[in-house]
């Protein structure tokens, strides 16, 4: 997908230039233009100038149904009078496949929803309906899949399973996913684009953008400590050590250990205690961060009060031990 366009909506103007053949997460404050970007890619809004190319075709002048684009909204938006199977068969039938129901069964199985085939949407939970909606979007075999906060309407309990499923089905596809959650970006996206006030202010590999944010917005939503390695049942294995945490990834999968700078304690003497992860390192910088001071080391960050920084006499070059409880660490599968 290649998009280079300008579009105005009332007083708002969105100006983007993006190219992606993999999974891209779009983040940004409310009103920054994320939905407008999806609308232009989907063909629901015509740009004032520029060009949109999807699957190698110039689709700028094409209506939505000729673009080979799939849209997954926050709400599943299934046809209420059709069974799950008939909902999923819609795309294959529209494309003239000889056996749309057989295709629909395959896609339902792909999202672990074969057993829901005969149910109507009102008999599905939010998570089940969203699974069926994913199958329906994929069954149309789009060149580009657009996902608008696909977990926003789900219970916190339903989101992790669906995230794992999307990670599986998005692999090797072109997709643009709007999300507020940096963990979605980490789990699903190869790259992240940050939009602020109608402009792309940051883009790059997911892990690089989220761990080294260059704008205040990205720092606020992300600014997470991320350590890459391999998931195992006891935590993340990296550089010959184990970082203990709650594991939300398959054993052996590439993953990142994630924790917030506010959950990191800093000591100038060695610390012990088994439920803690301790990192011996060196302070590289001290930066104001809201009411706190962000203590940076080559790999990690910790947020401390100014009083704590003074008590510890921290300054660049100081040898320190960073400590984070295993309960504050999650291990997520990561593509980017």
Ligand X SMILES: Nc1ncnc2c1ncn2[C@@H]1O[C@H](COP(=O)(O)OP(=O)(O)OP(=O)(O)O)[C@@H](O)[C@H]1O
Residues that bind ligand X (CB under 6 A): 9-10, 12, 28, 30-36
Show the CA angle centred on residue 249, arms to residues 209 and 261, nearest 5°. Answer: 45
Q: How far is the CB of 52 from ligand X (least distance, A)?
A: 16
Report the C-alpha gap between 123 and 104 in whole angstroms: 19
Smallest distance, ligand X to C-beta of residue 164, A: 25
**Least distance (Å) between residue 47 CB and ligand X:** 13
Q: What is the CA radius of gyration of the chain?
A: 22
Choice between 30 and 274, CB closer to ligand X: 30
3-state secondary structure the chain: CEEEEEEEECCEEEEEEEECCCEEEEECCCCCCHHHHHHHHHCCCCCCEEEEEECCEECCCCCHHHCCEEEECCCCCCCCCCCHHHHHHHHHHHCCCCCHHHHHHHHHHHCCCHHHCCCCHHHCCHHHHHHHHHHHHHHCCCCEEEEECCCCCCCCCHHHHHHHHHHHHHCCCCEEEECCCHHHHHHHCCEEEEEECCEEEEEEEHHHHHHCCCCHHHHHHCCCEEEEEEEECCEEEECCEEEECEEECCCCCEEEEEECHHHCEEECCCCCCCCEEEEEEECCEEEEECCEEEEECCCCEEEECHHHHHHCCCCCCCEEEEEEEHHHCEEEECCC
Q: What is the closest distance, in whole angstroms, from the C-beta atom of residue 144 to ligand X in the complex?
A: 18
Sheet (strand 285-289) strand order:
285-289, 292-296, 301-304
Name the token pair of 206. Answer: 């997911």
CB of 32 to ligand X, least distance (A): 4
- Of 20 and 111, nearer to ligand X (C-beta) is 20
Closer to ligand X by Cβ: residue 9 or 46:
9
Bridge partners (DSSP) listed for residue 213: none
- Decide whether 28 or 213 has the Cβ nearer to ligand X: 28
Closest approach of ligand X to the CB of residue 33, in Å:
4
Minimum CB separation from ligand X for residue 73, in Å? 12
Task: Give min distance, CB of 176 to ligand X, in A.
Answer: 12
85 CB neighbour count, 10 Å cutoff: 21
Least distance from ligand X to the Cβ atom of residue 315, Å: 40
Nearer CB in complex with ligand X: 14/210: 14
């Amino acid at each position: 997908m290649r998009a280079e366009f300008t579009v105005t909506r009332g007083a708002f103007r969105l100006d983007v230039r993006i190219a992606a053949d993999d999974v891209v997460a779009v983040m940004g404050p409310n009103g920054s233009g994320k939905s407008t970007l999806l609308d232009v890619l989907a063909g629901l809004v015509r740009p004032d100038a520029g060009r949109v190319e999807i699957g190698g075709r110039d689709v700028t002048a094409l209506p939505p149904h000729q673009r080979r684009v799939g849209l997954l909204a926050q709400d599943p938006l299934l046809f209420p009078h059709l069974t799950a199977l008939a909902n999923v068969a819609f795309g294959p039938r529209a494309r003239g496949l000889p056996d749309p129901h057989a295709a629909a069964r395959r896609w339902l199985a792909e999202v672990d929803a074969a057993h829901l085939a005969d149910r109507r949407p009102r008999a599905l939970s939010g998570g089940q309906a969203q699974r069926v909606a994913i199958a329906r979007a994929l069954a149309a075999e789009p060149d580009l899949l657009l996902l608008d906060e696909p977990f926003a309407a789900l219970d916190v309990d339903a989101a992790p399973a669906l995230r794992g499923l999307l990670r599986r089905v998005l692999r090797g596809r072109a997709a643009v996913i709007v999300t507020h959650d940096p963990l979605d970006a980490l789990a699903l996206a190869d790259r992240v684009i940050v939009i602020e006030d109608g402009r792309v202010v940051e883009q790059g590999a997911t892990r690089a953008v989220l761990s080294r944010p260059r704008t205040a917005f990205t720092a606020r939503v992300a600014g997470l400590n991320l350590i890459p390695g391999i998931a195992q049942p006891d935590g993340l294995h990296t550089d010959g050590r184990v970082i203990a945490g709650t594991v939300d990834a398959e054993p052996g999968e590439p993953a990142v250990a994630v924790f917030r700078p506010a959950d990191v304690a800093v000591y100038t003497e060695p610390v012990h205690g088994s439920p803690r992860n301790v990192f011996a390192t060196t302070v590289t910088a001290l930066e104001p961060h809201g009411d706190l001071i962000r203590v940076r080391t080559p790999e990690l960050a910790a947020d401390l009060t100014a009083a704590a920084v003074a008590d510890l006499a921290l300054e660049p070059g100081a040898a320190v031990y960073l400590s984070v409880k295993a309960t504050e660490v999650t291990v997520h599968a990561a593509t980017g």
